[in-house]
Amino acid sequence: MMELALEQARLAGAHGEIPIGAVVCRGGRAIGKGHNLTRRLQDATLHAEIVAMRGAASRLGHWYMQDCTLYVTIEPCTQCAGSLLLARMGRLVFGAAEPKFGACGSVNNLLANSRLNHRVEVTAGVMANQCSAVMKQFFRELRDS
């Protein structure tokens, strides 16, 4: 599934978006996928995770995702981590850490807050080098242009 998320990230980068991709999986099948659309649609909320979760919710017919896993190339921000909690996402798998905005262990850890009524199982570092390389290449090309 992380390979599918990487495909989404590359698609975002090809369109001038920050190259982050996400896939929601249920029962071993992708039921929602997305990449950043913030620049193209001028909407700060359209992160890859949100786009993928909207697609999954549409397919499921509801927004509770307790039996789903979100795969995302970069550690989610506070907005996206909060959305995972609200959707009751069962599991999060992410690639590279996000040292400036990461809300799943880097800058803060919203998903581990014991005062909240839901926990999301987190697996970090899956294909981290590949996920990080997509980001580094995008920003290198941006600086060089």
Query: Tokens 């980001």 — which residue?
Result: 135
Q: Is 17 considered catalytic here?
A: no
Rg (CA), the chain: 14
Find the catalytic residue in 3, 7, 49, 98.
49
Query: Quick one: 66 exposed, middle or buried, by C-beta within 10 A (0-12, 13-18, 19+)?
Result: exposed
Query: Vertex 53, ends 62 and 46: CA angle to 5°?
Result: 130
- For 125: left if phi > 0, alpha if psi spans -120 to 50, otherwise beta; the answer is left
**Catalytically annotated residues:** 49
